[in-house]
């Protein structure tokens, strides 16, 4: 399970101009309350289509996700204002050498110590590059790409283990194991 607050997004900026760090802020709509401004301090980098960039996010029609889900309160009520953790997959959905590094649309994922996995799936018109340092960065080697993918997978698996532990704590039963990835046998 992941937080998916893209309906509530109003605007924000994420900055990866310092290698290995993503910092920024996001502002979210909350029905009946002041907007929630969230600050991000994440370890990791954007995918290579926007690695080294600062991006601006906008949503011309923010709305309350809980209204869509027919739930009371705001979807953002339990969302921590300080998102500290690790970058998952963050891409603007731009091609690099004729291929998409992850998806053909903007996809922003991180692993928050407070809220777990957070995902924003946006339209291309909702993301703009406001500072671009890609030309100053050397291309990633295959080894660097593999290492980054392994770290993202490790964070995902860690999040799944936390979810299983929480389920066991609340129900007294361990969820059935799921195979996430299996290497083909030679």
Q: Per-residue pLDDT tens, the chain, 186 aa: give them.
A: 789 999 999 999 999 999 999 999 999 999 889 999 999 999 999 999 999 999 999 999 999 988 888 888 898 999 999 999 999 999 999 999 999 999 999 999 999 999 999 999 999 999 999 999 887 877 777 787 778 777 777 767 677 666 666 667 777 776 666 555 545 444
96 C-beta neighbours (distance < 10 Å), count = 16
- Assign residue 130 a region (left: φ > 0; alpha: ψ between -120 and 50; beta: otherwise): alpha
Q: For residue 121, what is the enclosing H or E element?
A: strand 116-121
Domain residue ranges of the chain, discontinuous segments joined by +: 9-137
What's the number of CA atoms in the CB half-sphere (13 Å) around residue 65?
15
Pick the closest to residue 108 from 64, 45, 181, 61 (CA basis): 45
C-alpha 4/C-alpha 33 separation (Å) is 19
The DSSP bridge partners found for residue 184 are none
């Amino acid at each position: 399970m992941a937080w998916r607050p893209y309906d509530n997004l109003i605007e924000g900026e994420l900055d990866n101009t310092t290698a290995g760090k993503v910092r920024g802020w996001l502002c979210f709509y909350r029905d009946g309350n002041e907007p929630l401004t969230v600050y991000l301090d994440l370890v990791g980098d954007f995918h290579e289509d926007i690695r080294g960039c600062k991006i601006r996010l906008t949503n011309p029609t923010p709305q309350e996700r809980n209204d869509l889900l027919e739930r009371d309160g705001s979807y953002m009520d339990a969302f921590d204002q300080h998102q500290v953790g690790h970058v998952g997959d963050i891409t603007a959905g731009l091609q690099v050498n004729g291929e998409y590094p992850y998806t053909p649309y903007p996809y922003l994922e991180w692993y928050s110590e407070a809220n777990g996995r957070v995902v924003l799936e946006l339209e291309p018109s909702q993301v703009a590059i406001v500072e671009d340092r890609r030309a100053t960065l050397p291309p990633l080697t295959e080894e660097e790409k593999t290492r980054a993918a392994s770290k993202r997978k490790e964070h995902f698996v860690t999040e799944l283990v936390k979810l299983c532990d929480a389920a066991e704590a609340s129900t007294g039963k361990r969820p059935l194991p799921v195979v996430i990835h299996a290497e083909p046998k030679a």
